[in-house]
C-alpha cells in the first residue's frame, strides 16, 4: 500500500531557495523515498508568472513521488491541509534599509501567515521558518497562531549546524558523515554560537572529541566560530547570490530528522521554543541541541557549559530579546 | 555405518558449513563495506543547471542512495569565484554520500579518472546570434573537451551532453574522442521525454508515474518528434494505450507535439530563465536508468549513436527508445512506424544531417 500523500507548503516558492528546495521535496529528500507529496507553492502576485514556470517544471520532471502541485498567490489555498510548512517568503534586507523597517515588514507578513496557517493547515502541522530574521519571524508566527502547538514552530539553524560540521571535517580531513554533535546555540545571525565542546569524530579507534583531535583551541574559539557565523556573507561574496543550495538542503535535513527521527547517539540543532533550558530565557525561539523521535523534538539536557560558552549563549539570547522588543514595538 | 555413508555425511556437513560461511561473509560485506566512490564530472558547473544538478548528485538521485560520489566541477576562468562558492556550499551541505569535491578551471584535472561526465558547458544562443556563430564556437569547445576526456577520463566513462546543440555537440565529441566507445556518448532527450509524460498525465488527470513508453525521436530541438503511439497508462483495468484513452488524435498529432517541442521556450517566458530544475532532474534520470537499468516493461528516450535502426542514418546522435541493463542501452526494435511518424522521424534526421554538415564546415 502506498502512503497517503503529505501536503508540503513552501512560501516564497518562486525565489532562489524555493527553486532549489522544491525538487528536493519532490524527490523524497525531505520526507523519505516512499512518502508521496503534494506541493503547495505560495508567492506574491508580482511573482505569479515565475511561480507558474516552476509549476510547469515540476510537471515536466515527471517525479514519481509528486502527486500534485498547487501554485497560488492566495494564502488560504496555499495553507489548506498542509502537514509541513516551510516559510521561505519574507522581506529581504536591502541596502540602506534600517533594521526597524525590515522588522516592520516581516512582522506584518508573519502575523498574517500565522492566521492563515492556524485556520487552514492540518492539525499538527510542522512549521519551519527560514526567512530572516528567522527566529523572530517564527516567534511572531507563534504569537499569532496560538492554536498551533508551540513545539510545532521552529526556525532553521541546521544550515549553520551543517556548516560547522563541514568546517571541522575540512580541518581534520575526515568525511563529514563522521563528524557529529556540534551545537548551534541561539539566533540564526552573526551572534550564533557554534559550539564543538561536545562534538565528536568517528575514527577507526572509536569516537573522539573534536577539541582533542583539532588540538587548536585558539582556532576553535576564534576563526572557526567567525567562519561559521559569517559563512552566509562569504557565499554571497563568491556567488553574488545567497546560499540557496545549502539552505534548501538544510531545510530538508531539519524536517526529515524532525519527522523521521535523529540517528542513535546523534543530535542536531533546531531553533525551537525555549522552556528555560540552559538558563536561556523562556519564550524565545532559540537554537538548541535536540534529538527527535516519533515526530517530536527534545532538548538534549545536562551538557556541561563552560564560561566561554555561557557568555556567548547569553549574548545571542540578549540579541533575541532585543529583536523581540523591536518586533513588538512594530506591532503597536 | 559403512564408508560411503560416512563420506556422504561429511560432504553434507562440510557443504553446509561452507554455505553458512558464505552467507555470513555476504551479510558482513553488504553491511560493512561501502561502495567505492564514483567520480562524476559536471562541466559548466557554475551555471544554473549545474546549481540544480549538483545537490541532486550529492544526495544520490543520480546513482542511488548507497553510492558515494566525488564531484568534479569545471567552469571557465571568469566563473572561478562563483564555482568556488558552489564548492563551499557543497561542503556546507554536509552530504553523507559526498566523498570529495574538485572545483577547477583546468580541464585535465576536471576529467581525471571520471566515470561519468555531464557536459553542461557550452555557448548559449543569445538574442541576435546566428546559428552558424553558435555552432562554430561549440564545435571548438567540444573538440577540446573530447581530447581531454579521451586522455584523462576512466575507461568506460559514460558521457551525457546537455549543452545545445546537444546532439551535434555529442557527435563532435564522439568524432574527436575515438577511443571512448561510441556507445558511451549520449545526449539528453530525457527532458523532452519527461515533458511528454507530464503532458499526457495532465491531459488525463492521471499520476505521471502511471504513464510510460512515450518516445522522443531525433534532435533535441523543435524538430523532435514526441511519439505516443506505443505509450500506455497503467489503470486499475491494466495498461491502456494513450491514444485510446485520450481519444483525440487531432490533439495528439498537433498541439501535444508542439507543446512538448516548444516547452523550453514556454518555461523561459514564464521564469525569464531557462529550465534548470527539470533539465537537472532529467540528467539524473538519464544516468540513473543507464547505470542501474530501466524497469521491466518500460523504455526511456536517449540520444545515442545510430547504427541504422528505423532507417536512421548511421553515425548520427539521434534520440531513440531504449531499455538499459548492466550499464548498457539497447534500442527497442520492431515498433510499428506509421506514415505520419515516418515523415517526422525523417525530418528531424535531416535537420541533424544539416547540423552535422555545418559543424564539419568549421573543422576545415
Domain coordinates in residue numbering, chain A: 6-155, 158-323
CB contact (8 A) between residue A62 and residue B92: no
B24 belongs to a structural domain: no
DSSP A269: E
Task: Point out the domain boundary residue: B158, B187, B216.
Answer: B187
CA A192 centroid distance within chain: 13
Task: Point out the domain boundary residue: B129, B156, B187.
Answer: B187
B175 belongs to a structural domain: yes
Segment A270-290, tens digit of pLDDT: 999 999 999 999 999 999 999
From A46-50, A94-98, A165-169, the region with the lowest mean pLDDT = A94-98
Q: Which of residues 176-195 of B touch A (CB under 8 A)?
A: 191, 194-195
* Active-site residue, selected from the candidate residues B193, B220, B230, B288: B220
CB contact (8 A) between residue A166 and residue B92: yes
CA A249/CA B262 separation, integer angstroms: 31
CB contact (8 A) between residue A245 and residue B195: no
CB contact (8 A) between residue B271 and residue A53: yes
What is the number of other CB atoms lying within 10 angstroms of the CB of residue A83?
20
B16 belongs to a structural domain: no
CA distances from B327 to B63, B116, B157, B160 (A): 12, 12, 11, 14
Contact by Cβ (8 Å): A202, A165: no
Res A193: pLDDT:
98
The whole-angstrom distance between B304's CA and the closest CA on chain A is 21
Q: Which of residues 252-271 of B touch A (CB under 8 A)?
A: 263, 266-267, 269-271
CB contact (8 A) between residue B55 and residue A248: yes
Res A289: pLDDT:
98
Res A267: pLDDT:
98
According to DSSP H, which parts of chain B are helical? Answer: 3-32, 48-58, 80-92, 107-111, 131-152, 166-176, 190-204, 242-246, 249-253, 255-261, 263-271, 276-292, 339-361
| A6-155 and A158-323 have identical folds | no
B228 belongs to a structural domain: yes
Res B124: pLDDT:
79
Number of A/B CB contacts below 8 angstroms equals 138
CB contacts, 8 Å: A24 with chain B: 55, 59
B5 belongs to a structural domain: no
Q: Which of residues 278-297 of B touch A (CB under 8 A)?
A: 278, 280-282, 285
* Residues B260 and B218 reside in one and the same domain: yes
Residues above pLDDT 90, as percent of chain A: 94
The whole-angstrom distance between B282's CA and the closest CA on chain A is 7
CB contact (8 A) between residue B93 and residue A64: no
CB contacts, 8 Å: B266 with chain A: 56
Res B31: pLDDT:
52
Inform me whether the pLDDT recorded for A223 exceeds 90. Answer: yes
CA B148 centroid distance within chain: 21
B11 belongs to a structural domain: no
* Residues B295 and B329 reside in one and the same domain: yes
Res B227: pLDDT:
98
- The CATH number corresponding to A158-323 among 2.60.120.10, 3.40.50.300, 1.10.274.10, 3.90.110.10 equals 3.90.110.10
CA B242/CA B257 separation, integer angstroms: 14
B4 belongs to a structural domain: no
Region A68-73: mean pLDDT is: 98
pLDDT beneath 50: ranges in chain B:
none
* Residues B231 and B173 reside in one and the same domain: no
B195 belongs to a structural domain: yes
Res A46: pLDDT:
97
Range(s) of the domain holding residue B356: 190-361
CB contact (8 A) between residue B56 and residue A23: yes
Per DSSP (E only), the strands in chain A are: 6-11, 37-42, 66-72, 84-87, 126-129, 153-155, 179-180, 183-185, 193-195, 200-203, 206-209, 268-273, 285-293, 296-299
| B82 at interface of A, judged by CB pairs closer than 8 A | yes
* Residues B231 and B330 reside in one and the same domain: yes
* Residues B203 and B347 reside in one and the same domain: yes
Segment A29-49, tens digit of pLDDT: 999 999 999 999 999 999 999
Sequence-distant (6+) residues with CB within 8 A of B34 are B68
Question: Catalytic residue positions of A?
Answer: 188
Res B1: pLDDT:
58
Closest CA to A261 of A297, A289, A301, A299: A297
Among candidates A166, A167, A239 on the partner chain, residue whose Cβ is nearest the Cβ of B82: A239
Res B224: pLDDT:
97
Res B87: pLDDT:
98
Task: Point out the domain boundary residue: B187, B216, B237.
Answer: B187
* Residues B82 and B196 reside in one and the same domain: no
| Residue B345 grid coordinates | 522521424
CA B281/CA B288 separation, integer angstroms: 10
Among candidates A27, A53, A240 on the partner chain, residue whose Cβ is nearest the Cβ of B270: A53
Domain A6-155 fold is Rossmann fold (3.40.50)
CB contact (8 A) between residue A249 and residue B198: no
The ipTM estimated for the assembled molecules is 0.96
* Residues B267 and B348 reside in one and the same domain: yes
Closest CA to B330 of B338, B339, B321: B321
The whole-angstrom distance between B9's CA and the closest CA on chain A is 43
Res A298: pLDDT:
98
- Best residue of B57, B70, B93 to probe chain A, by most A CBs closer than 10 Å: B93
CA A25/CA A82 separation, integer angstroms: 14
What is the number of other CB atoms lying within 10 angstroms of the CB of residue A72?
19
* Residues B341 and B208 reside in one and the same domain: yes
According to DSSP H, which parts of A75-216 are helical? Answer: 75-79, 99-120, 134-143, 158-172, 210-214
Number of domains chain B contains: 2
Closest B-chain CA to A38:
B207
Contact by Cβ (8 Å): A290, A263: no
Q: Which of residues 41-80 of B touch A (CB under 8 A)?
A: 51-52, 54-56, 59, 61, 65
Q: What is the pTM of this model?
A: 0.94
Res B218: pLDDT:
98
CA A159/CA B254 separation, integer angstroms: 48
Amino acid at each position: 500500500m502506498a502512503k497517503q500523500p503529505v501536503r508540503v507548503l513552501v512560501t516564497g516558492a518562486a525565489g532562489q531557495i524555493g527553486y532549489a528546495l522544491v525538487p528536493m521535496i519532490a524527490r523524497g529528500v525531505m520526507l523519505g523515498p516512499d512518502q508521496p507529496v503534494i506541493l503547495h507553492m505560495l508567492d506574491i502576485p508580482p511573482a505569479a508568472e515565475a511561480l507558474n514556470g516552476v509549476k510547469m517544471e515540476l510537471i515536466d520532471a515527471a517525479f514519481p513521488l509528486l502527486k500534485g502541485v498547487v501554485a497560488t498567490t492566495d494564502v488560504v489555498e496555499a495553507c489548506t491541509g498542509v502537514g509541513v510548512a516551510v516559510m521561505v517568503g519574507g522581506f529581504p534586507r536591502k541596502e540602506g534599509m534600517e533594521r526597524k523597517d525590515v522588522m516592520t515588514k516581516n512582522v506584518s507578513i508573519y502575523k498574517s501567515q500565522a492566521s492563515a496557517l492556524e485556520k487552514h493547515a492540518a492539525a499538527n502541522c510542522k512549521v519551519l521558518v527560514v526567512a530572516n530574521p528567522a527566529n523572530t519571524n517564527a516567534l511572531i508566527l507563534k504569537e499569532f497562531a496560538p492554536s498551533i502547538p508551540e513545539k510545532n514552530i521552529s526556525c532553521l539553524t541546521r544550515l549553520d549546524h551543517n556548516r560547522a560540521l563541514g568546517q571541522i571535517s575540512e580541518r581534520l580531513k575526515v568525511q563529514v558523515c563522521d563528524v557529529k554533535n556540534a551545537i548551534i546555540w541561539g539566533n540564526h545571525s552573526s551572534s550564533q554560537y557554534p559550539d564543538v565542546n561536545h562534538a565528536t569524530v568517528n575514527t577507526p579507534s572509536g569516537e573522539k572529541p573534536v577539541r582533542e583531535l583539532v588540538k587548536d583551541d585558539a582556532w576553535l574559539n576564534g576563526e572557526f566560530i567567525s567562519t561559521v557565523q559569517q559563512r552566509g556573507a562569504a557565499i554571497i561574496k563568491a556567488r553574488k547570490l545567497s546560499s540557496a543550495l545549502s539552505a534548501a538542503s538544510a531545510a530538508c535535513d531539519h524536517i526529515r530528522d524532525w519527522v523521521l527521527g535523529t540517528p542513535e547517539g546523534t543530535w542536531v540543532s533546531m531553533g525551537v521554543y525555549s522552556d528555560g533550558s540552559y538558563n536561556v530565557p523562556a519564550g524565545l525561539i532559540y537554537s538548541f541541541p535536540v534529538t527527535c523521535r516519533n515526530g517530536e523534538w527534545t532538548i538534549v539536557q545536562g551538557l556541561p557549559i563552560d564560561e566561554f560558552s555561557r557568555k556567548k549563549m547569553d549574548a545571542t539570547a540578549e540579541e533575541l530579546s532585543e529583536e523581540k522588543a523591536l518586533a513588538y514595538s512594530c506591532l503597536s | 555405518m559403512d564408508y560411503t555413508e560416512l563420506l556422504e555425511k561429511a560432504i553434507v556437513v562440510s557443504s553446509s558449513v561452507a554455505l553458512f560461511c558464505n552467507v555470513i561473509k555476504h551479510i558482513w560485506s553488504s553491511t560493512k563495506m561501502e561502495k567505492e566512490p564514483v567520480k562524476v564530472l559536471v562541466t559548466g558547473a557554475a551555471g544554473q543547471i549545474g546549481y540544480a544538478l549538483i545537490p541532486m548528485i550529492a544526495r544520490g538521485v543520480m546513482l542511488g542512495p548507497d553510492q558515494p560520489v566525488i564531484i568534479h566541477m569545471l567552469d571557465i576562468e571568469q566563473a572561478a569565484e562563483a564555482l568556488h562558492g558552489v564548492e563551499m556550499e557543497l561542503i556546507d551541505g554536509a552530504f553523507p554520500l559526498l566523498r570529495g569535491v574538485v572545483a577547477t578551471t583546468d580541464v585535465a584535472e576536471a576529467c581525471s579518472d571520471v566515470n561519468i561526465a555531464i557536459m553542461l558547458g557550452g555557448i548559449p544562443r543569445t538574442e541576435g546570434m546566428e546559428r552558424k556563430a553558435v555552432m562554430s564556437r561549440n564545435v571548438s569547445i567540444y573538440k577540446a573537451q573530447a581530447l581531454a576526456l579521451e586522455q584523462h577520463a576512466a575507461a568506460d566513462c559514460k558521457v551525457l551532453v546537455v549543452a545545445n546543440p546537444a546532439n551535434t555537440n555529442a557527435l563532435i565529441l564522439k568524432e574527436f574522442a575515438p577511443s571512448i566507445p561510441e556507445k558511451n556518448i549520449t545526449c539528453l532527450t530525457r527532458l523532452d521525454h519527461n515533458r511528454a509524460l507530464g503532458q499526457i498525465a495532465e491531459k488525463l488527470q492521471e499520476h505521471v508515474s502511471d504513464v510510460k513508453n512515450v518516445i522522443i525521436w531525433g534532435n533535441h530541438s523543435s524538430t523532435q518528434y514526441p511519439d505516443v503511439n506505443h505509450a500506455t497508462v497503467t489503470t486499475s483495468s491494466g495498461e491502456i494505450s494513450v491514444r485510446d484513452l485520450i481519444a483525440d488524435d487531432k490533439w495528439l498529432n498537433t498541439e501535444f507535439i508542439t507543446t512538448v517541442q516548444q516547452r523550453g521556450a514556454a518555461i523561459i517566458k514564464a521564469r525569464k530563465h531557462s529550465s534548470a530544475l527539470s533539465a537537472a532532474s532529467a540528467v539524473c534520470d538519464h544516468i540513473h536508468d543507464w547505470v542501474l537499468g530501466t524497469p521491466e516493461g518500460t523504455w526511456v528516450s536517449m540520444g545515442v549513436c545510430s547504427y541504422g535502426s528505423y532507417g536512421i542514418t548511421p553515425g548520427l546522435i539521434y534520440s531513440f527508445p531504449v531499455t538499459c541493463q548492466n550499464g548498457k542501452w539497447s534500442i527497442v526494435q520492431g515498433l510499428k512506424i506509421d506514415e505520419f511518424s515516418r515523415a517526422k522521424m525523417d525530418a528531424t534526421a535531416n535537420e541533424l544531417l544539416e547540423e552535422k554538415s555545418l559543424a564539419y564546415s568549421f573543422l576545415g
